Structure 1
Amino acid sequence: MTERTQIKAGFMPLTDCASLVMASVLGLDQQYGIELVLSREHSWSGMRDRLVRGELDAAHVLYGLLYGVEMGIGCAATPMAVLMNLSRNGQAVTVSRALAEQGVTSLEALADLVRRSGRRPVFAHTFPTGNHAMFLSYWLAAGGIDPLRDAELVTVPPGQMAGSLAAGHMDGFCAGEPWSGNAVLDGSGVTLTVSQDIWPDHPGKALGARADFVDANPDASRALVAALLEAGRWIDESDAHRAAAAEVLASPAYLNTDMQAILGRLQGQYDDGLGRHWRDPDPLRFFADGDANFPWLSDGMWFLTQQRRWGLLREDPDYAALAARVNRIELYREAALLAGVAAPSATMRSSVLMDGKVWNGLDPHAYAHSFAIHRLAPGGA
């Protein structure tokens, strides 16, 4: 059967769609014998539905969303594939200026306000099973705030975050750039933490597809991964390339926002909105010599542990077997070879998160059940 050469790929208007956009703009897809047809999506739920229905072949997508679809959380279970990690780091938690002016300029201050007032602050994330929901809940819980009892969590598309914060519809949000940066620039928001301080070098968006598409189009899938590796390498090569990517992303076809709102944090230059400026040593990365792209099994398993922790999964799955099925590591290694990118021989990695807990994928059941604040449903406790 002839494989697809034209691949319709969805993206959300976020800075970390840059590899997909630049692979198309620079013609890197054609170098590998495929043609990318990009489709700008408006919400993660809409993208999920179009991916599942086959209207999209692949997508720049939340890692946790793909695992949620695989497990049938909030939708019919559909076998999915993670082909690569598109980025790492570069998300943020931002609160309203009004809340910051009440003294909430840290997680500790937020926890103190919740304890003293009993008020449930409203925080937005971008999708219930997605990265931002899991990072936000982890961050709140690390400060002693139960995200389901002490706060109200709502879902808002990323492009609407800054506007909703400015309008007073919520107290804060966790989302990808440039929307936290936009909130700081327009004066409505104050960034309290960046995601790399929650989980250093965490996985960002993934390149996702339905499993049946990958199975039917293995050569095209390898070509797509190789082209995106080339694009990530090009972006990370210099600040000049990052500036060029920011200019492309700012256009109406992609993010439709001011280039400067993208460029600062894309280059690691942060302003928290309260006068603190810093250059982050490890901001949003698209390549990092290939380290940012490998689809570690332990990364996928982490999202499952958090979905279990918060009651989205009623039982503990076979974490390792599930991740080995979803994350197409061998296909990635073959694509990396095509692009001349080194790939590790291991499939797990070790990380230390903000609360000092070590995550290495070796005992996911114990990890999921080790948190003092949780919503573990009956089954496998």
Structure 2
Amino acid sequence: MGDNATTLSRRRFLQAGAALGGAYLLPGLMNAAWAAGSDGPEQETVKVGFIPLTDCASIVMASVKGFDKKHGITIVPSKEASWAAVRDKLVSGELDAAHVLYGLIYGLELGIAGKQQAMANLMTLNNNGQAITLAMELTKQGVTDAASLKKLIAANAPGTFTFAHTFPTGTHAMWLYYWLAAAGIHPFNDVRTVVVPPPQMVMNMRIGNMSGYCVGEPWNQRAINDGIGFTAATSQSIWADHPEKILGTRSAWVDQNPNTARALVASVLEASRWIDASEANRRETASVLAGRAYLNTKVGYLTPRMLGEYDNGLGKKWHDDHGMHFFRDGEVNYPWLSDGMWFLTQHRRWGLLDSDPDYLAVATRINRLDIYRQAAAAAGNVAVPASTMRASTLMDGSQWDGSNPAAYAASFAIKR
């Protein structure tokens, strides 16, 4: 983005804060909780797991561009095979932190994504940029969108069609369920859903194991390039500027290493800002990510959607203003409590939680606003909102602002 785009982005961020009744504070105006010279990182090396997806970019670039060294640490990116592997290695301490699904961290905290473990969300890594891919074979039966998919499903026995996501409490499951339900398709009664690691999505669609999937990039673009699938919906069409991956870790690790946690977040914030600063930086990022150590794919599979240029595989092309973003003056990265609470409402909606939790208390416990504010000050020129909530309108017209989560969770006609 150029200077004008950056100015407009900041203006939108400030206006959003005013609309929610809270002004935005620049880090320079805040009283830092740590003192320069006495706040050295407890760890020099920080092992950070990632899944080979485009949205691991800020962690990778923090290491590649040396932003970590500026803050006194060395980030060691560790490629992992699945979200289950990330979960297990986070819990065991084999990983210090990870590029991870928002709902995975919340699920661990509540004991619905594995053995209960106190977890921490240090920052949001990106907004937008996921998609729902349908098999090209479905076009032979007249399917090009959600409405035509509903007709086909209704004409067949329940469970005839299989859809994949990446983790039971994760973001991709929630986007898939939301999109299906908005079309009148019950994601548990009308279709079959399975869990597949992101790098295995395209292969499984190619051999006919699923009719559709929800995943991050480049696996939606890859299906189009291979001629086996098309993009039926982007995640930003479900919720514009939604939270996606986060920088997650164990709560105990933060408590034991608060200065390291601050340095890690500051490093990734600086990388996020660098990526979003220009098209050239985004292209360079795509080139780095395509390498064998990271996504091990063709740069052409990454670059278009990294730049917001979309082709759905059926002839529709557009520039998406709500494509994947990594910074937007810190608006992307702030760990809004309402974002975490939204995932809890969907866990409740789909029966993953048997009763309503204390939504605000859980989000306040997990989302480490204290560490984020310190890191924003360390990174410099990162706007930090006074409000912990933000307001959004989703594809079905539902309004979400975190004010009444239990009522919101119960408000959907299709639920479990």
TM-score, structure 1 as length reference: 0.97
Q: Deviations over 1:150-201 (max 9, x none)?
A: 0111000001111111111100100000100100111001100100000110
More divergent stretch after superposition (127-136 vs 67-76): 67-76
Match of 2:254 in 1: 214
SS at the partner of 2:385? coil
Alignment pair present for 1:140 and 2:180: yes
Aligned to 2:412: 371
Matched, 1:191 2:264: no
Equivalent residue letter for 1:354: M
Answer yes or no: is the 8 Å Cα contact 1:93–1:180 preserved in 2.
yes
1:71 corresponds to 2:110: yes
Distance 1:219 1:268 in 2: 35
Query: Between the two proteins, what is the percent identity of the paired residues?
Result: 56
Q: Cα distance, 1:116 vs. partner?
A: 2.4
Matching residue of 2:72: 33
Checking the alignment, whether the CA contact within 8 Å between 2:125 and 2:326 is kept in structure 1 is: yes
Describe how 1:274-285 pairs up with structure 2 within 5 A: 274-285=314-325
Equivalent residue of 2:384, what SS?
Answer: coil
**Matched AA of 1:348:** M
Greater Cα offset, 228-237 or 2-11: 2-11
Q: Which of the numbers 62, 82, 105 marks the counterpart of 1:43?
A: 82
Q: Distance in 2 between matches of 1:112 and 1:7?
A: 50
Match of 1:295?
A: 335
- Is the contact made by 2:41 and 2:260 (CA closer than 8 Å) also made in structure 1? no
Tell me how many residue pairs correspond in the alignment. Answer: 375
Matching residue of 1:94: 133
Q: Check whether the contact 2:48–2:95 (CA below 8 A) recurs between aligned residues.
A: yes
Counterpart of 2:406, as a letter, is: H
Larger mean Cα displacement after TM superposition, 109-118 or 295-304: 109-118
1:10 to 46, 49, 52: 49
RMSD of aligned residue pairs (Cα, Å) = 1.1
The secondary structure found in structure 2 opposite 1:207 is strand
Give the 3-state SS of the residue equivalent to 1:117 in structure 2: coil
SS of alignment partner, residue 61 of structure 1: strand
* Alpha-carbon distance in structure 1 between the residues aligned to 2:149 and 2:83: 28
User: Secondary structure at 2:209's aligned position in 1?
Assistant: coil
2:46–2:74 CA contact under 8 A, matched in 1: yes
Query: Does structure 2 retain, via aligned residues, the 8 Å contact 1:100–1:190?
Result: no
Contact kept? 1:85, 1:203, Cα under 8 Å: yes
> Where does structure 1 differ by over 6 angstroms across 4 or more consecutive aligned residues?
none
Q: Give the alignment of 1:68-217 within 5 angstroms.
A: 68-118=107-157, 120=159, 121-217=161-257
The match for 2:399 is 358
Q: Distance in 1 between matches of 2:197 and 2:151?
A: 29
Which residue identity does 1:349 align to in structure 2?
Answer: R
Alignment partner, residue 378 of structure 1: none
In the alignment, the residues of structure 1 paired with residue 330 and residue 362 of structure 2 have an alpha-carbon distance, to the nearest angstrom, of 24
- Equivalent-residue separation in structure 2 for 1:320 and 1:188 (angstroms): 43
Q: Which has the higher contact order (CA 8 A, sep 6+)?
A: 2
Question: Given that residues 104 and 113 in structure 2 are in contact (C-alpha distance below 8 angstroms), is that contact kept between their aligned partners in structure 1?
Answer: no
Residues of 2 paired with 1:240 and 1:160: CA distance? Answer: 30
The residue aligned with 2:33 is none
